[in-house]
Structure formats: structure tokens, C-alpha cells
Amino acid sequence: MIGNQVGDTSDFGVVQMVISNDVIAGVNWTGSSTFDGTSAGFDGATGDTIMTLDKTGQVPLTIDFVLNKKGGGGSFGMVIKNMESTTVSGRVTLFY
């Protein structure tokens, strides 16, 4: 995944990471971002931050557990949240 915040040059940030989904236990990732520096981790808790896309840490990429509609387990996904009080713009590119 490659992502960045655009428009506000005072809070410009960049993230590059590799993410893998372990359907039983969580999300694995390794990469670097302007805010987090180099980071690697493993987590399965909904709402926990993986990395952020901006320089001040206000646009986090967080974990989202999605329960299978048929009730047979689920999978882990990601959600990008804007914690700023103003609108921010950015781009995220996923390669799979």
C-alpha cells in the first residue's frame, strides 16, 4: 500500500507498507511513514492503529474486523479515519 495526504503542505505525509491478512488472528504489516517512522506489527483488535498517512498522526489506518455474514468466522480489513477537525484529502493505492 502506498498513501499520502495532499493539499495541506504543512501536514504532508507519506506511508509505504506491506500488509497481509491472517484470517484467524489478525493483520501483519511492515513499512514506514512520515509520522510513525519504520514500523512492523501484528494485531487483530478492531480500532487499533496500523500506521498514519499524515505528518501529525491525525489520519490513521486502523484495523476493522468484519464478521462473515454466514456466521462462519470473519476477516480483517482496514479503515482510514480522519481525526482532524477539518477536511483533508489524500490518496491510497493498494497493490494485490
User: What does 51-62 look like in DSSP terms, one character per residue?
Assistant: EESSTTS-SEEE
Please report the pLDDT score of residue 26 as a whole number. 78
Q: Return the residue matching grid coordinates 456466521.
A: 71
Max intra-chain CA distance, the chain? 46
Q: Return the residue matching grid coordinates 501483519.
A: 28
Chain-wide mean pLDDT for the chain?
Answer: 79
| 68: confidence class by pLDDT, cuts 50, 70, 90 | low
pTM of the predicted structure, to 2 decimals:
0.72
| 37: confidence class by pLDDT, cuts 50, 70, 90 | very high
| 9: confidence class by pLDDT, cuts 50, 70, 90 | low
Residue 32 has pLDDT above 90, yes or no: yes
